[in-house]
Chains A and B, each alone.
Chain A
Amino acid sequence: MTGLPAHSPSAAPRPADSGVFAWAEVLQETLALSGRLFLQLQRRPTTLVAGVLQPLVWLVLFGALFQRAPEGLLPGGLSYGRFLGAGIIVFTAFSGALNAGLPVMFDREFGFLNRLLVAPLRSRYSIVLASVLYITSLSGVQSLAIMGTAAVMGNGWPGGSGLVVVAIVLLLLVLAVTGLSLGLAFALPGHIELLAVIFVANLPLLFASTALAPLSFMPPWLAWLAALNPLSFAIEPIRAVYNGSPNWSTVVLDAPYGSVTMGACLLVLAGLAGLLFLSIRPLLRRKLG
């Protein structure tokens, strides 16, 4: 090692320490941090591949399991494959978002987070924002792959406006679940605990929703659970899109407590996302502040 160049401390005040300049710095931080996650994905694409393969297996196996179900059994005369498609798309996005906290947890455990926190970040929320950006993009790609496969299997493809609805629904769901997962990643002591929560939450939430079967097939207690499950509020609007051209006031869920429209579903999802991010704010402030 040889001598270093004379240092010129960067402690001098920045030219403009507010406004546009501040936002530019937040953007620079966020893009750099999400860029790191995308680089990791590019070099270790297992997460992406597994995230597509698992729901594909579900789609093919479950689709085949009920292939010979009597016609007209499902609401709206849907084939089971088409019925299942919406559930699997939501499951894909949900599973991906539920894992959003894992990279953050590993960064906490291995000390990489401290490396980030010693930098003069304009906003430490850029660490959270980068995770949201990454998981949203990843879920988007995975969901598109499932939708494409479902289309090839003859289970339909939503039209242009339908795609917009699907994108909005998935975005809201991913935001809500990512918020939850990031909250858990900062609240739990280690990755073992986080994985346990993910493991426990994942499948029961899927089974206690309308992903695999309509409410009318379920015993009353489960129908209540499924009708309150946020996943059902994401699944039913997408199912409606695959089944026709619904509008905001179209009833998409006949719940035990009443009819739920597409607009209401989106409101519930948006409210949930907002509520979850608001509820983890104090935790984030404590851990990142």
Chain B
Amino acid sequence: MIRLEGVRKSYGAVQALAGLDLEVPSGCIYGLLGPNAAGKTTALRILCTLLAPDAGRVWLDDIDVLAQPRLARRRLGYVAQDAALDKILSGREMLHLHGALYHLRRDTTRRRVVELAARLEMAAWLDRPCGAYSGGMRRRLDLATGLLHHPPLLVLDEPTAGLDLESRYALWAVLRQLKAEGTTVLLSSHDLEEVNTLADELAILDQGALIAAGQPSQLKAALGGERITLKLREFASDGEASQALALLQQQAGVSQPVVNRSQGNAISFFARDARLVEALRQQLQDHGLPIFCLSQSQPSLDDVYLQATGRTLMDAELAMATTRDTKAEQKAAMR
């Protein structure tokens, strides 16, 4: 089991983790979901001993990760989001280098490389220089380096970012296989489908804090009923949206109404019963409020995020894209 207790981390004035508490059970695929700059990578880097937190404790089973980092490193394989490969070395040479750094015997490394090359379908290109690899090949090699020493915990940061669909599904299959063999897989992603499809359990992070955790089905069910999105107009005014929100808040069987400003003041809420929708339609009309569109759907993880933060993951990504200083983050990631 992985346990993070009150982990805090700041980069200058920017708070990346604001007292994160997290428990990851053994033997499952656990997803860390959140928009860019939610603190996912920072949390993973702290767990993998690449970064020291400002405060908090981190446990990997019975190992105090901050006090015994070398012991923790033996137990985990880390597949970073943007780890560099040595372009001059071949994939096989990279794996042999890693084998030596994990103090594997040379014949053990050789045997493991053959196994992994066969299982991850790398044999055809493993002796080519890494500089010639495509994104999918790089990911497979990254995964192979993470698995070379048979770690009981595999940590992956945005494992399928930038991959084509085929490589993505192939990687998912490998992760499921690993889980079936007893490996705990902890992955971060801002891809809803990936976490929804793969993860047995997940935690949603926003601005360095945990906003929800549990099984995907439980989190979605906790929202209650069907998800309704109401648009009064294509771009409704704040006043109209507030009026409709007040109406919905008084309506029995309606829960968690939220105004989504970035989507033309659309209002999202959950209706215990689909039959409520007709009654609502009538009520809105009685109060002179127009209806531009009213849609029903099953709750998604995005709804979990929306209900907790008042914005969708996509909106959070877009907002972050304008404020994020990637150069400063890159410098902060440098040792």
Contacts and interface: CB of A to CB of B under 8 A. Distances in A.
A8 interface: yes
A7 B74 CA distance: 14
B48 A43 contact: no
A109 B73 contact: no
Interface stretch (A23-31, A197-205, A259-267): A23-31
Contacts of A11: 71, 74-75, 151-152
A109 B334 contact: yes
Contacts of B14: none
Interface string B70-107: 11011100101011111011000100111011110000
A1 B334 contact: no
B333 A39 contact: no
Given A10-B74, A115-B83, A1 B335 contact: no
Contact of B119 (A1, A107, A117, A189): A1
B89 A6 contact: no
A114 B151 contact: no
A8 B93 CA distance: 23
Contact of A1 (B83, B97, B170): B170
Contact of B174 (A1, A9, A43, A118): A1
A5 interface: yes
B86 A112 contact: yes
A43 B115 CA distance: 27
Interface size class of B (residues with CB under 8 A): 35 or more
B171 A111 contact: no
B97 A4 contact: no
A189 B93 CA distance: 29
Interface in A142-193: 186, 189
Contacts of B49: 117-118
B102 A120 contact: yes
Interface string A1-25: 1111111111100100000000001
B182 interface: yes
B335 A39 contact: no
Contact of B121 (A2, A14, A29, A113): A2
A117 B45 CA distance: 11
Contacts of B147: 4, 7
A287 B118 CA distance: 37
Contact of A10 (B50, B82, B149): B149
Contact of A7 (B71, B89, B140, B150): B150
State which size class the interface on A falls in: 35 or more
Contact of B335 (A5, A6, A108): A108
A107 B220 CA distance: 43
Contacts of A115: 80, 83-84, 145
A110 interface: yes
A236 to B, nearest CB: 39
Interface in B186-222: none
A40 B151 contact: no
A282 B159 CA distance: 35
A61 interface: no
Given A32-B100, A116-B101, A117-B50, A1 B151 contact: no
A112 B84 contact: yes
A119 to B, nearest CB: 4
B83 A119 contact: no
Q: Which of A11, A14, A117 has the most chain B CB atoms inside 10 A of its CB?
A: A11
A213 interface: no
B86 A120 contact: no
Contacts of A29: 100-101, 103
Interface string B107-124: 000000001101111000
Given A10-B74, A189-B334, 4 more contacts: A5-B181, A9-B152, A40-B86, A111-B84
Interface of A: 1-11, 14, 25, 28-29, 31-33, 35-36, 39-40, 43-44, 107-122, 186, 189, 287-288
Q: Which 7 A-B pairs have the closest CB atoms?
A: A32-B100, A110-B84, A119-B101, A9-B152, A120-B73, A112-B84, A11-B75
